[in-house]
Amino acid sequence: MTNDSVRQQLLDDLEALRQSLDHIARTPASTVPPIVDKVVDDAAEKESDKKSSPLNPDNPFLSSDSLSELIRIRNEAEQRAAEEEAQTEDALDQPLSDELEAAFNRWADQALADYISLFERDLRRRLRADFVRLLNEHQKHSPDGSA
């Protein structure tokens, strides 16, 4: 296609659009579908004409009694779910607590065993040093110099 044929095609399309819009503008209002806002407003006016409506104005789909019943059921379900969750957490926490307690006891036993062996070695070394010192002092003070 050449530039002239592309331009001519574009002009033809624009002219067809203009004619379609002119035709729509001339169509009588009775054949035009109603606007959504008008339909909704008309329905709201009809609804407000009803004097004794069992519907809750905040929720036009449920009666107040039905809404209250649903709220009660939901609250009970939430309470049961919270209780079950708390029980589940307690059940999960107990084995973990037991395992941590056992691990602590093993660690404490090992640490005590390590420190006791260190204290025992140090105490034996000191006692041996004190014993040797006492022997040396006793030998110095003995009259013949022998033990």
Domain interval for residue 93: 33-141
pLDDT in tens, 95-145: 888 888 999 999 999 999 999 999 999 999 999 999 999 999 999 887 765
Instruction: Using the Cα atoms of residue 115, residue 120, residue 125 and residue 126 in order, give the sign of their dihedral.
Output: positive
Q: Is residue 8 part of a domain?
A: no
DSSP state, 53? -
Q: Is residue 129 part of a domain?
A: yes
pTM above 0.75, yes or no: no
> How many domains, in total, are found in the chain?
1
Q: Round to whole Å and give the CA distance between 115 and 113.
A: 6
Q: Is residue 63 part of a domain?
A: yes
Would you call 16 helix, strand, or coil by DSSP? Answer: helix
Does 79 score more than 50 pLDDT? Answer: yes
